[in-house]
Amino acid sequence: MCKPSRFHHDSFLDNFDVQSETKPELLNGIPAEFQSGLDAVLQGTDGNTYFFKGDRCYNRLLEKAYPLADEWGRPEINVQLDEGIDAILVGKDQKLYVFSGGQYQTYKLPLEDKGPELSDKLYAESYPHSIAEDFGLESVVLAYADGEYTHFFGKPDENGVQLHLVITGEEYDIESSRAYYESDISWWNIPEEYISEGFDTIEAVLFEEDNMYLINNNEFIQYNKAEDYWSFPKPLQRIYPELPEPNEDFGTVRTAFTANNQRTYFFSKHTFLSINKEGQKEGAPLKIKEYWGKIKNNLQERKGLEAAFVFDNNTYLFSGDQYVRYSGFDYEFIDPDYPKPILGNLRMEPGFKLLPELFEEVLEEMFVDGAGQFDEVISNGRNLYIFIGDDLHVFANDKTAELDLSQLTKAKNHLLSGKKVDAAIHSGDKEMILFSGDQFYFYTDEKGELTLKEGYPKDIYPNLEQDYGFAIPNSFRDGIDAGCSLNDYSVCFFKGKDFWFSETGSSTPIPIKDNWGKIHNNFQEAPTGVDAVMHGLDGFIYAFKGDQFVRYSDFNNEYVDTGYPKPLEGHWGGMAYHMPPEQIKVDSAFSFEQKSYLCFNGSGMVQYVRFSDPTYQRMDDLYPRGAWYHWRSRADYYLIDIKTIADFKALSDKFADKSYTLTDFVNAVTGLKEQPYAALAETFGEDLDKVQWLKRNNAFLTVQGRYETRFNMEAVLKMYEIFRLCAKVGHSPEALYESLWLKLFDTMNDLDKFNDVLPFVSPEVIETTAHFQRFPLWHLRP
């Protein structure tokens, strides 16, 4: 049974003294606002459940609450859907016809108004009717009455031809009084020059004594019947000076009519306004859908309902003395011709055929002053129950029924009905509790087999507290999302954004974000800068702070990449193992010439590692190194280096006319050289084998210096000098080395032997052999 603020369960029908507090399972998981005081609950044909309270509705699948009138009780009326009004006719039957798309509605004349504005309670006589069924046209874009004839024009085709219906007399539903024509602009007899100037469509027709005004957008042509006179096209402002030019609030005129209150109403696409008989505009433009196309609809106007009922595929919603119906599985719009009064209509509906004719007397008495209502409508398939105030009306197919005894053994059991296990915790040695929905199950492990304890499953509330002393929060009573046991005496339960810990001794939920999911993050714990930032070889951005680093796939990203921050330990090729344990951090980092360098304080001095690997999984060999060793304060170039560069520049210029320059030859940026020996031999005009022999002997350069590891320029210069000297004596470098130098000098200190042969050797030969000996010889001359 349900009361305004709570639910209870009675022990049996004849005794209401023994009650226990309960809650329907249907309410589990919905916001506290909709846990009590509900007006109605709808288990819809679309598989969703809706909870109605006041002017609000909660959608279970959407998990959102919204104004009831935004979704429920909406008729499919074109004008109310903001599709505008195509035409309006003041009919000869004293009714106002409003046409929109394929629909039309009628209003009784005179119109109810409040001074210059129409009443916001201006109701059409009924739900929209079909233009096609009642007038034989797909739509009506122009309608007017003139004399004994009423004209209706359909939408023109691409050639401007319109289906034209003419009805004679004041009765519009007499078939014999109708005639159909095909008409175009020529039917109006407008002077041809005006048509050619663009006045080729008629949007509305207004009359004033002998004058007929044809309106096209915001222009008009006047026709005087008495004089048979046509005026040229003029702005509407000529006769209605306060009619605004087309703007955001009021566009071009689509239709117009003059009402019984002597006001003329002009309609644009979405708004309308009125001008009184003195030509004065009355107020600002108003939205069409807020005044036109309305029907009496309690559900929309009262923004509430009292009962919801489903029978087969029909859904009924009750509000005051009305009800609406939805057929099928779509709740976008109510069925056509609804809402309907309960009195005189409900007994004809599917699902309500059990209502006797005598029940109409109850309804007449209830709705005599329009204040009555149904409080609830329920059916169990055999009986129909209608709650009205303190009365319950029961309507049955039969006075008795036979029921299967198996129904008496049914008990609520979520696991047997196919629902999932939400959580499992150990409550002690060989004991386990499973949670599913708003129930829990107690299992024991006896002889290696799980056994459900007698009396289970039980509802979480109030049994979990009674059996185990777990005073869980109210929001956990209808089920939990997860749980864990921390020891034999304490447990944690999780639900939504909160958790509950049994050791707190409180039933107050605790926000999960304040206690769970936290990770050590140097960047958030001390958000005052970083230690280093580097644009990596892989295109990512890396930032370092303390013993952690983060990565950005794009510098404009708001958040770091998934999985970061990460510790330096275990990454960057084991770099952290070379750092003091108490000071694991990167002090600076940068990338230069396809290499990345990370500097840190290690073993009491600044060290650095280098990476050529863009994945940063392996640092380069022989690292880390001391920064002072390679990056200490010293000159970038020695004086001898300046001389070498200058000599090489001169040599390169000398052979600049060659297709393959020496600068290209030694420039690593240009990539690998194809057949480098052949290219150098061609440049110097020497044999290939001579170049190869000199290269194998490194052009007899001295041992490479400590700080320079590559002297490609020096090698090229030395080879050229050797070739030049060899050309003077007419011998190859290899021949001079083997036939002269090795025979003269078995060892570097055999100077006496050299002095004996010196007078017979020319200076050119001595100069040449000096290159082989690798030090100057001129000081050895006598």
- Give 155-197 as a 3 state SS string: CCCCCCCEEEEEEECCCCCCHHHEEEEEECHHHHCCCHHHHHC
Domain end: 246, 272, 290, which one? 290
The answer to whether residue 405 sits within a structural domain is: no
Q: Which residue type, as a one-letter code, is found at position 43?
A: Q
Domain end: 514, 536, 557, which one? 514
Coil, strand or helix at 348: helix
Among all chains, which residue has been given the structure tokens 């959102």? 64
Listed in sequence order, the DSSP H helices in 294-382 are: 298-301, 359-366
Q: Is 548 exposed, middle or buried (0-12, 13-18, 19+ CB in 10 A)?
A: buried
Residue 135 shares a structural domain with residue 63: no
Report the distance separating Cα 107 and Cα 291, nearest Å: 12
The answer to whether residue 469 sits within a structural domain is: yes
**CA 677 to the chain's CA centroid:** 63
Report the distance separating Cα 654 and Cα 718, nearest Å: 15
The residues of the chain scoring below 50 in pLDDT are 1-3, 13, 116, 704-711, 748-749, 757, 760, 771-782
Cβ distance 166 to 174 under 8 Å? no
The answer to whether residue 42 sits within a structural domain is: yes
Report the distance separating Cα 608 and Cα 628, nearest Å: 10
Each residue's pLDDT tens digit, 24-68:
778 888 888 998 899 999 999 999 999 999 999 999 999 999 999
Residue 304 shares a structural domain with residue 260: no
Residue 506 shares a structural domain with residue 534: no
**Angle, alpha carbons 456-457-461 (nearest 5°):** 110
What the block records as the tokens of 50 is: 């809706």
What the block records as the tokens of 105 is: 């509605």
How many Cβ atoms from other residues are within 10 Å of residue 396's Cβ? Answer: 13
The answer to whether residue 2 sits within a structural domain is: no
Residue 101 shares a structural domain with residue 244: yes
What the block records as the tokens of 552 is: 């950005």
Residue 91 shares a structural domain with residue 61: no
- The residue length of the chain stands at 782
Q: Is 657 exposed, middle or buried (0-12, 13-18, 19+ CB in 10 A)?
A: exposed
Tell me the CATH number at 604: 2.110.10.10
The answer to whether residue 773 sits within a structural domain is: yes
> What are residue 550's phi and psi, to 5 degrees?
-125, 165
- DSSP string of 582-617? T-----EEEEETTEEEEEEEETTEEEEEEE--TT-S
Which pLDDT score is estimated for 19? 60
Tell me the CATH number at 383: 2.110.10
The answer to whether residue 755 sits within a structural domain is: yes
List the one residue out of 201, 237, 200, 232 whose CA is nearest residue 218.
237
pTM: 0.62
Listed in sequence order, the DSSP H helices in 655-759 are: 662-666, 676-684, 688-696, 712-729, 733-736, 742-744, 751-757
Number of domains in the chain: 5
The answer to whether residue 80 sits within a structural domain is: no
Report the distance separating Cα 316 and Cα 326, nearest Å: 7
Residue 438 shares a structural domain with residue 340: no
Please give the C-alpha separations between residue 565 and each of 139, 520, 546, in angstroms, as whole numbers: 66, 9, 11
Residue 121 shares a structural domain with residue 70: no
Residue 531 shares a structural domain with residue 489: no
Enclosing domain of residue 263:
87-290
Which pLDDT score is estimated for 118? 62
Pairing of strands 322-327, 340-341: antiparallel
Which pLDDT score is estimated for 782? 30
- DSSP string of 478-492? T--SEEEESSSS-EE
The answer to whether residue 81 sits within a structural domain is: no
- DSSP string of 620-685? PTT-SEEHHHHHSS--SS-HHHHHHHHHHHHHHHHTTTSSS-HHHHH-GGG-PPSSHHHHHHHHHT
Report the distance separating Cα 302 and Cα 89, nearest Å: 31
List the one residue out of 604, 570, 568, 565 whose CA is nearest residue 589.
568
Contacts of 229 (CB under 8 A, 6+ apart): 222, 223
Residue 466 shares a structural domain with residue 536: no
Residue 602 shares a structural domain with residue 672: no
List the one residue out of 190, 183, 192 whose CA is nearest residue 164.
183
Cβ distance 105 to 122 under 8 Å? no
Which pLDDT score is estimated for 752? 54
Residue 70 shares a structural domain with residue 162: no
Residue 224 shares a structural domain with residue 110: yes
Domain end: 396, 430, 452, which one? 396
> What are residue 524's phi and psi, to 5 degrees?
-95, -35
